[in-house]
Structure 1
Amino acid sequence: MSKLFFKGRIDARQNHVISGYNVKRDVKAGTEEAPINIVVPTEARKAEIEALVSEHTIVAHIAVDSEQPENTVELDTLLSKPQTITYEKTPNRNEACICGSGKKYKKCCA
């Protein structure tokens, strides 16, 4: 018998595969589907956060509660995303040197 033989009903197997949990869903925090929750102690701080949220087009639920400590962790993580670092390409051997000497790169700084 073949190694690829499947015992059971094919239609039941396909339904099981389709109904799995989708871990690669593209829902980002701070959108209408997944708003972030922020707790602030005063109305003045709420106004500051609202201005910051509107500037960066983030959807957030801001609650004012003086009894709880300020919780802006989700907002801080959205605002401090690491930027992609790009490096300058080193010149090829026969191109002009980057130091400005006028020589070829292979004869100057290589």
Structure 2
Amino acid sequence: MFCTHCGKKIANAAVICVHCGVPTGEISNPSSSAPKSRIVYILIAFFFGGLGVHNLYAGYSGRAVTQMFITLFAALFIAWETEMVAAILMLVLLAWILLDIVSVAKDAKGVRFS
């Protein structure tokens, strides 16, 4: 392979030219992966939505932690015998999970689900 800037021979795996320092444009991105599955996202939301696992799968860690805390607080309110507060929290969480299922089409990196 030859440098497009200076024309000197460089290694095929070179990221920059060792002679002039210009990038070769052959940068590989090992972090890019196949898009995540929408079906898997929906199934995880259906079975483990209260724990926010579906949002962890999609890379939305902030949402996931918030959903985990809502579930934790609902469980604490049940233990404290204030079921009405727990029921309201669980209804809010259920609405949020259903909204996630119908509206989230991309992961946290902006890659559309397959």
TM-score w.r.t. structure 2 length? 0.24
Higher CA-based Rg: 1
- Which protein, 1 or 2, shows the higher relative CO under an 8 Å CA cutoff with sep ≥ 6? 2
